[in-house]
Chain A
Amino acid sequence: MRGRTARREIAGAVRLLPAMTSASVSVPAVQPRRRGDTGRSFGWLMIAPCLAMLAANSIFPLIYAVTVAFESYQVLIPVPHRFIGLRNFERIFSDPLFWSSLGVTAWFIAGVVLLQFPVGFGLALLLNRLRRYQEMLATLLLIPTIISTSVAAFQWVQLFNYQFGPINYLLGLLHLPQPTWTADPALALPCLIFVDLWQWTPFMTLLMFAGLRSLPSSIIDAARVDGSTAWQVVWRIYLPLLRPVIGIALILRILMAFKLFDIIYVLTSGGPGTVTENLAFFTYVQGFRYFNMGYAAALSLLQLIAVAVLAKLLIRLTRRASAATAKE
């Protein structure tokens, strides 16, 4: 009997999903009331300086990428650049270094989805159980996220140090092998993925925690009273209700992981060899080390398109959450 009630409660909670999500993620769908043309022109007036600033700095790179991407243009070779059609793109898709850099990018994204999300969500559940000091703890955990990557990199250079680092010292105490970490071709990429995990999991935790706190406690209490286990509460209530927040958090982090550069530059510089070169770093190497401007521009163009698609997806998710609100 109790079990059945619990199930009904959970089913009810799931049906309430659109209502709940409005508390956590929402963009009011209320259209601004039309006040004649005054509001319109005033709006454009207010946004014009901002747009002018953005245009100067984004349209120019875009035009550059679109034109140079179809040219043969190498700074070091004193030959005027010329239009070569899709040749740069053909070269990209037959370049093994492009594919391996794409693979590295994919690994970082996999790290976000498979490690950062579960760990971040788990930590948020734990934080949510605390009765006091929740915010203080969340902010303390957030320190790796908010400090500069240069500072974070210094900390990990110290910890990963082969000879004097505390990690290898502890491994030595346990008579375990002491690897060279970021200098080891097999471990360099896992090390970087771990540092990214360390830097950004707290961010995941913060977003998930905010989502959890926005859920009304009555539903969870009802489910508990009716005998659902903690596991059931997580799977049948938290996860479905938090779906919009989870979606937004994942896309935000995937967008960031996609353009990841700093930590690679300061910790491994793409090495050893090219094992930690992701797409962003590969583009940097082509443009700023080999000065293959046409090739780098073609690579840039591909990334701009990929990011635009992802950002569109993010907006659609946000809007869907708001559509759920509007139905209420």
Chain B
Amino acid sequence: MKRSGLTLSDLLTYAALALALVVFLSPVLWMLITAVKPPHEWLTTPPILIPSELHWANFTDALVTWGGAKGLEDSLIVASLSTLLSLLLGVPAAYALGRFNTGGENLSFTVLSILFMPPVAVAIPMYLFWSALRLLDSYTALILQYTVFNLPFIAWVLKSFFEDIPRGMEESALVNGATRWRAFWQIAVPLARPAVLAVAVLAFIFSWNEFFFALILTRANVTTLPFILPVLMEGHNILWGDIAALATLAALPVVILAFALQRYLVRGLSFGTVR
């Protein structure tokens, strides 16, 4: 059906979407504004919408004085190593589930339910577990703990991708004498590369953002950004600008990755159930 020009319903659509953008993004915008406000404009009546100057010192304060640099470093270490380990274990597992239906429906179900385990319900035993291994407040515990939550996610989402890749190429490789490992590594994985990249980024985002286990399992040695932000927000003299700067630094990588990955967001975020 061809329509010419703007109709009333088009205008209403634009207006409603504009309103939605305002509702969903104004809290984010307010954080960005606070992050560059000079201290005397943090708490004012009326609130100041446009800062009188761009006060970048908030960012250096956040990084140097409030442990932001250490936070960034720890978040980066934990998120990237956990992502790497999750891929190393998860991609072959997904291939097994998707290609050979290893363990049947029951195994797939078990793996998926681990993904949805309420963290609180496993927090105490996991605390005792890491404590018995003398690994509380260590990178190792946090990396392994996040891997446990990333693995089912990666296995489940990639399973559906591997199912969708036609098996013809792998089969002809096998007929021509390739090992199963080579069929996996040199044919299936390259074909699934965009999907692997997508789950890798989502696993990274999960580990980068995770708060609960950071709260339970760490104290002073390992301080990821989501862990230090709420600590800084306690008390009466909240340093709004500095915290806003730190929160911005915590949000930035995730937002950039999401935009870089637009095409795969749906399938990854829906755990592969919506294709």
Residues on A close to B: CB < 8 A? 24-28, 30-33, 35, 38-40, 42-44, 46-47, 49-51, 53-54, 57-58, 60-61, 64-65, 123, 126-127, 129-130, 135-159, 163-166, 169, 198, 201-203, 206-207, 209-211, 214, 221, 224-225, 230, 245, 248-249, 252, 255, 258-259, 261-262, 265-266, 280-281, 283-284, 287-288, 293, 296-297, 299-301, 303-304, 307-308, 310-312, 314-315, 318-319
Contact = CB atoms under 8 A, between A and B. Distances in A.
B113 A308 contact: yes
A148 B249 CA distance: 11
B27 A248 contact: no
Interface of B: 1, 9-10, 13, 16-17, 20-21, 23-25, 27-28, 30-31, 34, 43-47, 88-90, 92-93, 95-97, 99-103, 105, 107-109, 111-114, 116-126, 128-129, 144-145, 147-148, 151-152, 155, 160, 163-164, 167, 174, 180-181, 184, 205, 208-212, 215-216, 225-227, 229-230, 233, 240, 243-244, 247, 250-251, 254-255, 258-259, 262-263, 265-266, 269-271, 273-275
B275 A288 contact: no
B117 A126 contact: no
A65 B125 contact: yes
A150 B230 contact: yes
Contacts of B180: 38-39, 42
Contact of A61 (B93, B125, B151, B259): B125
Contacts of A293: 124
B24 to A, nearest CB: 5
Contacts of A210: 266, 270, 274
Contact of B226 (A123, A149, A248, A312): A149
Contact of B96 (A44, A147, A265, A318): A44
Judged by DSSP, the binding face of B is: helix
B1 A54 contact: no
Contacts, number: 316
Most buried by A among B24, B43, B147, B240: B24
Nearest to A23: B275
Given A262-B212, A287-B123, A311-B109, A47 B30 contact: no
Contacts of B226: 148-151
A64 B127 CA distance: 12
Nearest to B49: A166
Contacts of A158: 27, 30-31, 34, 240, 244
Given A259-B120, A287-B124, A307-B113, 14 more contacts: A32-B101, A43-B96, A50-B92, A64-B128, A138-B262, A139-B265, A142-B265, A146-B258, A150-B211, A163-B43, A252-B271, A293-B124, A303-B121, A307-B117
14 contacts: A43-B102, A44-B96, A47-B92, A47-B93, A47-B102, A49-B88, A49-B93, A57-B126, A65-B122, A140-B25, A145-B269, A152-B27, A158-B244, A283-B120
Nearest to A122: B16
Nearest to A302: B121
Most buried by A among B266, B269, B273: B273
Contact of B24 (A60, A156, A202): A202
Contacts of A249: 270, 274
Judged by DSSP, the binding face of A is: helix
Contacts of A166: 30, 47
B225 A148 contact: yes
A198 B251 CA distance: 16
B163 A28 contact: yes
Contact of A169 (B45, B120, B144, B181): B45
A137 B21 contact: yes
A259 B116 contact: yes
Contacts of B126: 57, 60-61
Contact of A159 (B30, B114, B215): B30
A33 B145 CA distance: 36
A30 B21 CA distance: 42
Contacts of B107: 47
A157 B215 CA distance: 19
A279 to B, nearest CB: 8
B124 A64 contact: yes
B11 to A, nearest CB: 11
A206 B155 CA distance: 22
B233 A266 contact: yes
Contacts of B255: 143, 146-147
Contact of B117 (A38, A159, A262, A304): A304
Contacts of A283: 120-121
Contact of A154 (B24, B233, B254): B233
